[in-house]
Structure 1
Amino acid sequence: MARGQIIGTLHERCTKLLGGFEQVAKRRSPHGFRLSMLVSEYLSIYQQPWYRMCRSARAETAIQRPGQGAPEDNKPDAFPHPKSQMQTKTTPSSPYPFDCLVFVRNVHSGTNKTTLKSLFGQAFQDQDQDGTRPTPTMGLDYVDFTKGMDTCYLRLASPAHAMRLLTYFDARPKTQAHGLDATGRTPLNGDKPIAMEIVQGKKEDVYWEKVPEKVRRQAVDRVVQSQLANDSEVERCNETSGSRRKKRTRDSE
């Protein structure tokens, strides 16, 4: 017997048994038919190997059924998005710099790009003190803001700068007192503090798709160069630390 005929026979048997079971439940439950007996009978059917085989075959058939469009989640993204976890490393072939885009809410609708750049640049003013390598843009590449809106996007120089920005404003809640407030103040009663999140996944793809390719390539190049510089700095620090440990070992001998 062909595989399709076997599956059809199993499915028909399963349907008849469960259909009869449902009819018995509807007919007898008003007269005191014990629910535990119904449950036991159902479980005895469910645990049969042929029933599990039938369920598996039906699921496989549904997936392979022709004439149906692909699920929304399986449609290809506008960009190949290799990220399976946070902060996939950007490479020269990346379509855009990963984890460098931040979405900001609750800015003053009367503000402007210059004011916002000064406001958010506060997070990078003391970057030399904690070992973060300074950049000409102070970590903030571009402020994507439309006049009259209370939201904006920020393009950061690297994922590390994006995380630093979020950490800074999480520890220091701020709100703009007016449109030209470039320092911010502590939120008063009823004020909504500035809120941020790193944009990832499909939303990140959609945003960068609208950015000119030349700008994307420049952003990718900056992140790659920043990563190389940081890797070199880490290697230098490791070598220095190793030399100090060896010296202490020789001195103690």
Structure 2
Amino acid sequence: MHDRLSDLDTKRLVVRVMFISLVESGRLTIRDRSIEEIFADYREIVSDLRESLDESEEVGNGVTPDVMTFTTDHREMILENARAALSAGRLELACMLFGTYCEHHINLLVSSSMEQLGYSEKTIVTLIRTSNLAVKVTALWEVADLPEWDEEALKQLNILTEVRNGFVHYKWKGMSDAEHSLRNERPNRALAGIETLLSFLKGVEDEIYWNGRKEELVEAVFRLAWPGEFAET
């Protein structure tokens, strides 16, 4: 039983990762289409990928880079650790982790949206690598045709980024008592509206990729892929 469950968990993970990746890269569109229509396209894309892999193996090339590539989404792990640091009262560490999570999320939104608009991977990677966060949420955000920033969320991001950068690039600068007290208050200000910022980023992701249907569709793909094997037991 344990082996079967492990195998099922692995299959669930593969289906989930591939489905989300195809949607967020723009290869699989959601809009207001039915679950069945979306899943039919998903299976067709997966079938084409399998054929490409088979052809690659037949000619002795193995899995070539143009057939399949992998990226790692660290956001869930970072966010979990950020919340743990906040709960433990380690506020500067929480700011560093929440700030890192937000930048990962912003990089994803900008890069995947630019990919959908037809920009090359080389161009996207160069722009992401050479742009600071202020440029990413203004100029690149507009180039990527992303929804306008919520004013409060952007204000919160700026405060959080300032605290995070001050912690990461610590200057060992002497401070007066008043300056020290003010510095100690900044993490509290940065974290006071963190949920507003996180909600905004999640809302943009849901809007541009999922049409507000991510949870519904990710759950549905398990039911439609290999019926019975993915049924809850």
* Same fold (TM > 0.5): no
In terms of fraction of residues, the more strand-rich structure is 1
Q: Look at both structures and tell me which one has the larger radius of gyration over its CA atoms.
A: 1
Specify which structure has the bigger relative contact order, considering alpha-carbon pairs within 8 angstroms and separated by 6 or more residues.
2
**TM-score, with length taken from structure 2:** 0.26
In terms of fraction of residues, the more helix-rich structure is 2
**TM-score, with length taken from structure 1:** 0.24
